[in-house]
Structures are given as C-alpha cells and as structure tokens.
Amino acid sequence: MSLKVYINGEFFDKENAKISVFDHGFLYGDGVFEGIRSYSGKIFRHREHIDRLYDSAAAIALTIPMTKEDLMAAVEETLKINGLSDAYIRLVVSRGMGDLGLDPNKCEKPSIIIITDAISLYPQELYENGLDIVTASTIRVSPAALSPRIKSLNYLNNILAKIEGDRAGCKEALMLNHKGEVAECTGDNVFIIRREEIFTPSIEAGVLEGITRNAVIELARNAGYTVHEMPLTRFDVYIADECFLTGTAAEIIPVVTIDSRKIGTGRPGPFTKELIAKFHTITGK
C-alpha cells in the first residue's frame, strides 16, 4: 500500500501528493511546520507541538483555517490511515497559492499538509559512542531580525551551518548567536553538564524552544537536578564534563568532541546516559 499524504482535508498517494509551484511556501519559504513523533501509536506531546505551530503561524500573521482540535484529529487520522504506530510526522502549513509577488494577501487559502514516515534516527552506534560536532562560522539568525522561535519553512540559516558541519565530517554543527554565545545545533538543542549541574542556553539566546528540550528540563528537574537556562559560550562547552543534543528525531544524543577537542572523558557520560534512560521511560520506548 502506498503511503497516504494529507493535503487540505484529502488523502493522496505519495506519488500524487503535490502542491502548486505558486504556493508561497515553495516560492518564499512562507510557512511554518512541525516535526512530531509517535511512539506505539501515541503522539508525543501532541498539544505542545500544535501550540508551537499556531504560535509560529501567529508570529508570521498566518491564520490556520482549522481549530487545534481538528488539526490534531487530522494528524491522528493520517497516522491511522497509514497503519503507523512508531512514526515521524511532518506537519506543514504554508501561506498557500498566490502570484509571483511577495504579497501574502494574494494567497487565498493556506495549504495544510501532513506527511508520515518511518523514523530516521542517528545510527545506534552514535547513541553508544557519541557524536563529533564542530562550531559553524555561520551564526544563528538574530532574533532581532527573525525569531528562531518561529519554526518556519526557511531553514537556510541552519542549512548553511549544516553544510559546514558536513564538510568537517560531522553530522551536527554548533551555531553561535549574534553575540557569540552558544545558541543551538542545526536541528537540535544543546545541553552541557558541569559539576553535576545541567546547563542549556535560554530561549533569549535566539533558539527554537524545543519540545524535547522542555521535556528533558522537566524530567531532569523532577529527578532533582539543577537545570540552568542561561547564556553559555564556547568556553563552557570546552570545559564541560558532558554534552548532549535534544530533538524530536534525535531524542537525546551524546556529544563527545567539539572542534576536535574531547568533552570530559571523550565518552558519553553517566548523566547523559541516565537522562536517556529516563527519557525512554516517558516515551515508553
């Protein structure tokens, strides 16, 4: 059976799941999206993802022509129709079809697209041995220009950093912000551990407020750990005992070197391992 894709209330076979070349999502990256996971048929933090999507949309003055409840039901239905229980779900809302000009008012109706797919995690070996990352020279877009809290269809800033990481032989790259502080990686939030306390850049550093980031902060605090959301620099990462990244697709993945320097012992540390185990208890994996 071919994979079914939801477009504006209808299901299409993967081969026929198409949108117009006049869609401003395509022409200008004018739109927002979410990457969501389901574990054993249960969507992880569904409401948080939907809330973030509507916030991203509000920030770009895009009105999603559906209630949150109806959109959540459409996501559930797309999963069900595809017979998937452990899946990655891509929810996209673009400005819709317009003319070749920028004017979003010429776009009559936003396009709503739901794509489900198998999960593509990092290879298991990297969860056991950790990732090598580099600091990219491409800085994160300044929140004064365009807030990285908006999960928009324009990922060029991250893609440029991703290319740098790739050329250095790394699967992720650390991005600094316009002030030279640590922001996040190209598709993941970043955490460090130092003297048994956990640190992550605050949202004001200009980062996406990751759903996984928030889940990890919550579970770490519930386990009695101190979590600081504060400005961090590369210095802090270089002297950290442990480092890990969080994201919907990656979950929690250890980082063992940055810029060819070992972090801590150069092996995934005990705190990271404990948080990974705790995270699995909340996803039920």
Helices first, then strands: H and E counts in the chain:
8, 15
* Distance of alpha carbon 69 from the chain centroid: 22
Residue 205 interacts with ligand PMP (CB under 6 A)? no
Residue 152 interacts with ligand PMP (CB under 6 A)? no
Distance between CA atoms of residues 88 and 65, nearest Å: 24
Instruction: Using DSSP bridges, classify how beta strands 131-135 and 31-39 pair: parallel, antiparallel or unpaired.
Output: unpaired
Residue 208 interacts with ligand PMP (CB under 6 A)? yes
Residue whose C-alpha is closest to residue 121's, from 268, 246, 3, 218: 246
Distance between CA atoms of residues 56 and 152, nearest Å: 7
Q: Which is nearer to ligand PMP, 143 or 210 (CB)?
A: 210
Q: Residue 134 half-sphere exposure, CB side, CA atoms within 13 Å?
A: 15
Binding piece for ligand PMP, criterion CB under 6 A, among 3-11, 183-191, 264-272, 277-285: 183-191
Task: Say which residue the tokens 């005990």 belong to.
Answer: 270
Residue 248 interacts with ligand PMP (CB under 6 A)? yes
Q: Between the CA atoms of 103, 108, 112 and 113, what dihedral angle is there, to the nearest 10 degrees?
A: -70
Residue 177 interacts with ligand PMP (CB under 6 A)? no
Q: State how far the alpha carbon of 269 is from the alpha carbons of 21, 49, 242, 255, 265, in Å.
A: 48, 30, 6, 9, 8
151 is annotated as an active-site residue: yes
Query: Looking at 4, 151, 162, 171, which residue is catalytic?
Result: 151
| Contact by Cβ (8 Å): 53, 34 | yes
Q: Which is nearer to ligand PMP, 88 or 107 (CB)?
A: 88
Binding piece for ligand PMP, criterion CB under 6 A, among 4-12, 160-168, 206-214, 265-273: 206-214
Q: Which of 107, 192, 211, 258 binds ligand PMP (CB under 6 A)?
A: 211
What six digits make up the tokens of 17? Answer: 């799941």
CB 21 → ligand PMP: shortest distance, Å?
25
Residue 184 interacts with ligand PMP (CB under 6 A)? yes
Q: Which is nearer to ligand PMP, 109 or 179 (CB)?
A: 179
Residue 189 interacts with ligand PMP (CB under 6 A)? yes
Residue 251 interacts with ligand PMP (CB under 6 A)? no
Q: Which of 78, 138, 212, 272 binds ligand PMP (CB under 6 A)?
A: 212
Which SS3 state, helix, strand or coil, does residue 248 take? coil
| Contact by Cβ (8 Å): 183, 177 | yes
Q: 40-59 mask for ligand PMP (x: CB under 6 A)?
A: --------------------
Which residue ranges make up the site for ligand PMP (CB under 6 A)? Answer: 35, 158, 184, 187-189, 208, 210-213, 246-248
For the annotated catalytic residues, the residue numbers are: 151
